Amino acid sequence: MDPEQQEPLLTLNKIHCCYGGVDAVHRLSFRVHQGQIVCLLGPSGCGKTTTLRAIAGFEPVCNGEVRLGGEVISAAGYTLPPERRRMGMVFQDYALFPHLTIYDNVTFGLRGLSRRERRARADELLELVDLRGYGSRYPHELSGGQQQRVSLIRAVAPRPAMVLLDEPFSNLDVDLRERLSREFHDIFRDQGVTAVLVTHDQHEAFAMADEIGLMRDGRLLQWDTPFNLYHEPVDRFTAEFIGQGTLIGGRLLDHERVETPLGVLRGNRAFPWNPGTEVDVLLRPDDVRITAIAPLQGRVVKRAFKGAETLYTLRTADGHQLLALAPSSIDHPVDAQVGIQIDTEHLVAFPRHEQEAGEETLWYPLHAANA
């Protein structure tokens, strides 16, 4: 059955969270279905942690409601205590009990099971995260990544209704962060866990989540799949927060085509604005291809080797800068002349406001932790 047709497991309905009368979260609504992994993503101070704490029951809501499986667990004047919500938490600082062994940490929340059943559950989960044989060690005898794996399985062990994760990888280095995000995703899938993750790191969000809510100033800007958030951002902020790219000024020729200094671009949609409207067109590095022969020519001004791919900064003869991602097996040195082809299947444009006229922006992922 399509999960969208099921009753949602978690519903946030126009919640407000206030500190001293000031809204930190404003009319926030979203739904999470059984088995889904969702992520709240956004810059520091946008209200992600407050929202997660409201779901966990650590923060009251001053308006709206939170429902779990149809039951209201938070509303103005009512907060079901955290321990009665059947939710597991994973924190950035692991929060393992230092004086308990790994085995005792993992089995800590397992009530109503025999000793043998508790051990079987712990062994099954330790195996899942490659920590079989570590049960009698203490947390300080494990690496940061291993401690976080234990903290994950401790949260999952009692089979909670859902798991909430607050920046779970931010203490770890970039490579480990990405690896653990993928590992956690697979474990959640395997165990049928429903999860809400909070992070400011889009790589983590992309690696883990089925759907992402991008927040700014306590509000939800876009709730979408990682693919759509990247390729179909609803506004400039989202476009700039997610990934890299260039905004090139242009003018609508009709509802489908935009005239730009790089040529006439046509996407796969009809724009709602009138012909003649000034717009900025979003070009992602993967929309820009380097080819041997193309009418549009440019010069390589910078390149960043990224393993399988290289990110090039190109400048056209009339001074426009573009980012292009190309397989690193073919090397284009700085100053090389190259052909540029623009693949505009996901052509995204934003109407240009007067105060922005004349600005042309190119950005690298300033907000990505591994920029």
Q: How far is CA 136 from the centre of its chain?
A: 35
Exactly one of 24, 164, 279, 340 binds ligand ATP (CB under 6 A); that residue is 24
50 interacts with ligand ATP by CB under 6 A? yes
Q: How far apart are CA 117 and CA 204, in angstroms?
A: 33
In the range 80-119, which residues lie near ligand ATP by CB under 6 A?
none
E strands, 95-194, in order: 162-166
> Closest separation between CB of residue 307 and ligand ATP, Å?
28
Cα torsion through 178, 206, 215, 343, rounded to 10:
130
Phi and psi at residue 126, to the nearest 5°: -65, -35
The nearer residue to ligand ATP, 46 or 96, going by C-beta atoms, is: 46
Assign 3-class secondary structure to 8-21: CCEEEEEEEEEECC
Closest to 40 measured CA to CA, from 185, 168, 181, 196? 196
48 binds ligand ATP (CB under 6 A): yes
Q: Which H or E run includes 280?
A: strand 278-283
Q: How far is the CB of 336 from ligand ATP (least distance, A)?
A: 41
Closer to ligand ATP at the Cβ: 42 or 160?
Answer: 42
Least Å from the CB of residue 21 to ligand ATP: 10
Question: Cα 48 vs. chain centroid, distance in angstroms?
Answer: 12
Per CB under 6 A, 202 contacts ligand ATP: no
Is 49 one of the binding residues for ligand ATP (CB under 6 A)? yes
Binding to ligand ATP by residue 47, rule CB under 6 A?
yes
User: If binding is defined by CB under 6 A, does position 151 make contact with ligand ATP?
Assistant: no
Binding of residue 19 to ligand ATP (CB under 6 A)? yes
200 binds ligand ATP (CB under 6 A): yes
H/E element holding 213?
Answer: strand 211-216
Q: Binding string to ligand ATP for residues 26 to 45, with x set by CB under 6 A, is what?
A: ----------------x-xx
Helix H or strand E segment including 208:
helix 202-208
143 CB-near residues (< 8 Å, 6+ apart): none
How many residues make contact with ligand ATP (CB under 6 A)?
A: 11
**Closer residue to ligand ATP (CB): 23 or 287:** 23
What is the closest distance, in whole angstroms, from the C-beta atom of residue 47 to ligand ATP in the complex? 4
Helix segments in 157-196, DSSP class H: 174-191
Q: Choose between 166 and 210: whose C-beta lies nearer to ligand ATP.
A: 166
At residue 247, the 3 state secondary structure works out as strand
Residues that bind ligand ATP (CB under 6 A): 19, 24, 42, 44-50, 200
